[in-house]
Amino acid sequence: MAENDIEHYETRRAIAEYGRNLLEDDLTTGTGGNLSVRLDEDHVAISPSGIPYAEVAPEDVLVVRTDGTVINGDHDPSTELPMHLAIYQKRDDVGSVVHTHSPYATTFASLGEAIPASHYLISFTGSEVPVAEYRTHATEELGEAAVDALGESFNATLLRNHGVLTADDSLKDAYTVALMVEYCARIHYQARAIGEPEILPDEEVDRLSSKLDSYGQ
């Protein structure tokens, strides 16, 4: 497929729409956060840098090669492009990456604390939401830290002193994981304010993950 023929309009439209959802669902503020989708083994679509989400049109969403070269779009890609590319390079199972600054989850990121399984919906992410080591935003080093924290089994990680990253098969799924991370963070925060939350054992979370995989089928 020739690079000039790569349009992927529907995917770019979906990224623009989910970007607006980030604000509506209180997962970020301003122009914070970013979203991307793996188009094929050589190309990724990613949200633009610094454009208010309400103003992002499908044609504003960038198509880039996996080396970061922009091949479609007139704006700069998100400054977190290196982090997104690092995830795609290391996780063949990932089809989309969502980065948010959701307030409750970012509170735990600033504490450097993983979010444990105090609510069963943590099973959308794994046995917990781990914490990546702090690295400066918009650097390859941040991508490496996120990759290390995700490993092979987690679908989300907290970026220490920064925010949240989720990764899943599709944009819809990665966005759902971002919603679940924020919900579980809020429940854990509130539970700790009252008392000591009970934590589900790993084997129960594994069982719940299997049930969620078949939910709605």
Catalytically active residues are: 80
Pair 25, 33: CB distance under 8 Å: no
Taking CB atoms within 8 Å and a gap of at least 24, the contacts of 16-21 are: 16/47, 16/53, 16/56, 16/57, 16/58, 16/60, 16/61, 18/98, 18/171, 18/175, 19/47, 19/53, 19/56, 20/53, 20/54, 20/56, 21/175
Pair 168, 181: CB distance under 8 Å: no
* Contacts (Cβ under 8 Å, ≥6 apart) of 23: 29, 53, 54
